[in-house]
Structure 1
Amino acid sequence: MKVGAYRGYVISVFLRDEHCPPHVHVRGRVWDARFRFSFLNGDVELWDVNPERSGPPTAVLKEIREVIMQRHYLVRARRIWWENLQTVCLENHSWDWEAGELVPGLVIRRGVYVIASARHDVVEQRTILSLIRAPDNVGINL
């Protein structure tokens, strides 16, 4: 599903056989790049280019990344991902309550809670984490 376009490159979320982490695809004539995005913040990073030897110049990939980081593109990418895949890919990770940050994997230690479920509120642009045995849920404004 199309998120947007930049200089003739189409930015899309594929809906068939898709998997975590959340990402968009950008297709060139002879290459496909994937950029990961987050339901916790505005970070976007290049994941990979296939085939690598046929990829575009690094400057083009940086420009595309900056375009995807624009709020309207991220809002659309998150909405498409959530509405079609029903995951933000945070389950079975942990949340450090004091630091207010994600801890990769299942971590058992004081002040760190396992994420039982997570969802994206498209209207409010928030990610809501339900934590096991935590004092409350966590809402992250995007």
Structure 2
Amino acid sequence: MRVGAYKGYVISVFLRDEHCPPHVHVRGKAWDARFRFSFLDGQVELWDVDPERRRPPTAVLEGIRKAIMQRHYLARARRIWWERLRTVCLANHSWDWEADEVLPGLIIQRGVYVIAHARHDVVGQKTILNLVRAPGFVEIDL
């Protein structure tokens, strides 16, 4: 599903056989690139280019990355991912209550809680984490 475009390159979320982490696809004439995004912050990073030998100039990839980081494109990518795939890809991770951050993996220690369920609030532009045995839930403003 189309998210947007940058200088003729179409930015899309594929809906069939998709997998975590959240990402978008961009196709060039002789290459495909994937860019990861998050339901925790506004960062976007280049994940990979295939085939690597046909990699476009760094300036092109950086321009695409910055385009995806625009608030409206990132909000659309998150909405499509959430509405179609029903995941924010935070299952089997933990939340450090003191540091206010997600930690990879299931961690059992004081102040760290397993993420039982996470969802995206499209209207409020938030990620909501429900935690196992935590004193409350977590809302992350995007």
* Fold equivalence (TM over 0.5): yes
Q: CA deviation at 1:59?
A: 1.1
- In the alignment, structure 1 segments of 5+ residues that lack a partner are none
Q: Deviations over 1:57-83 (max 9, x none)?
A: 111111110010010000000000000
3-state SS in 2 of match to 1:17: coil
Q: CA deviation at 1:100?
A: 0.2
3-state SS in 1 of match to 2:14: coil
Q: What percentage of aligned pairs have identical amino acids?
A: 78
TM-score by structure 2 length? 0.99
Aligned amino acid, residue 22 of structure 2 = P
Distance 1:97 1:14 in 2: 34
3-state SS in 2 of match to 1:49: strand
Distance 2:101 2:13 in 1: 26
Match of 1:59 in 2: 59
Q: CA deviation at 1:98?
A: 0.4
3-state SS in 1 of match to 2:25: strand
Aligned amino acid, residue 19 of structure 2 = H
Distance 2:140 2:19 in 1: 23
The count of residues paired between Structure 1 and Structure 2 equals: 142
Distance 1:45 1:105 in 2: 21
Aligned amino acid, residue 17 of structure 2 = D
Q: Deviations over 1:67-118 (max 9, x none)?
A: 1001000000000000000000001100000000010011111100000110
Aligned amino acid, residue 84 of structure 1 = R
Match of 1:38 in 2: 38
Distance 2:119 2:21 in 1: 14
Whether 1:133 aligns to 2:133 is yes
CA RMSD after TM alignment: 0.4
Aligned amino acid, residue 6 of structure 1 = Y
3-state SS in 1 of match to 2:62: helix
Q: CA deviation at 1:55?
A: 1.4
Match of 2:76 in 1: 76
TM-score by structure 1 length? 0.99
Aligned amino acid, residue 77 of structure 2 = A
| Residue correspondence of structure 1 range 1-142 to structure 2 within 5 A | 1-142=1-142
- In the alignment, structure 2 segments of 5+ residues that lack a partner are none
